[in-house]
A and B are shown apart, each in its own frame.
Chain A
Amino acid sequence: AQSVTQPDIHITVSEGASLELRCNYSYGATPYLFWYVQSPGQGLQLLLKYFSGDTLVQGIKGFEAEFKRSQSSFNLRKPSVHWSDAAEYFCAVGGVPGSNYKLTFGKGTLLTVNP
């Protein structure tokens, strides 16, 4: 069975500080991995995705994530956080389209940004 663990329920950082959100996954084959962000009252927006190639992927809003197969991790990073980054962040894992359509999400990490 596929699963995602986001160990941190809530993280608080100061504006301008660096950020790392953790994500660990369980999947029996090559995974498709995603990070989504949800602002209050909004749907989910894709930040970035990984399915092959370079293990460091760049996304929107200055975010990046690194895929580490040996650690089953896909951590999200940003070098300098802005107040507008305050939101909830979700990591997700899925299979190869055409063979496994299911997308499984973690429980999310709520990010608070202090001025």
Chain B
Amino acid sequence: DVKVTQSSRYLVKRTGEKVFLECVQDMDHENMFWYRQDPGLGLRLIYFSYDVKMKEKGDIPEGYSVSREKKERFSLILESASTNQTSMYLCASRYTDRVNTEAFFGQGTRLTVV
């Protein structure tokens, strides 16, 4: 069974802390994504990676960075957490196959910055 695992379901961090959100997929997918989900705003793409060590900015990359040292793992980093980064964070992965191309999502990490 396909699986995308996010390391934490809930996190509470203090303003100014460096925060790491981890995501692991077991499907050998080339593409991985980080989205944030806020009420009324839907899913907004923060960063994505199309291969190991390769990354591209999404629509709202400010205040975030990412790391992909291994194919199965994609980390989102908040360099200095702020209260406006309180949100639900969703990781996804996707094949680059032309047929089986849907994204698979993790359960999400609800981050609260106080």
Contact = CB atoms under 8 A, between A and B. Distances in A.
Interface in B43-102: 43-45, 48, 50, 56, 58-59, 90, 92, 94-99, 101-102
Given A43-B106, A44-B105, A49-B101, A105 B94 contact: no
Interface in A97-115: 97-98, 101-108
**Chain B facing A: main interface SS:** strand
B42 A90 contact: yes
Contact of A101 (B31, B42, B108): B31
B25 to A, nearest CB: 13
A51 B43 contact: no
Interface of A: 6, 9, 32, 34, 36, 42-46, 49, 51, 90, 92, 94, 96-98, 101-108
Contact of A103 (B41, B97, B98, B103): B103
A14 to B, nearest CB: 25
Interface of B: 4, 31, 33, 35, 40-45, 48, 50, 56, 58-59, 90, 92, 94-99, 101-108
Given A49-B101, A97-B97, A102-B58, A42 B42 contact: no
A98 B105 CA distance: 20
B33 A9 contact: no
Contacts of A101: 31, 48, 50, 56, 94, 96
B43 A97 contact: no
Nearest to B41: A107
Task: Across the A-B interface, give the 10 residue pairs with the lowest CB-CB distance, nearest first.
Answer: A107-B42, A97-B96, A105-B43, A43-B105, A44-B105, A43-B107, A101-B50, A108-B42, A46-B102, A101-B31
18 contacts: A42-B107, A44-B105, A45-B105, A46-B104, A49-B101, A49-B102, A51-B98, A51-B101, A90-B42, A94-B101, A97-B31, A97-B96, A98-B96, A101-B96, A103-B33, A103-B103, A106-B42, A108-B43
Contacts of B4: 43
Given A90-B42, A97-B94, A108-B42, A34 B107 contact: no
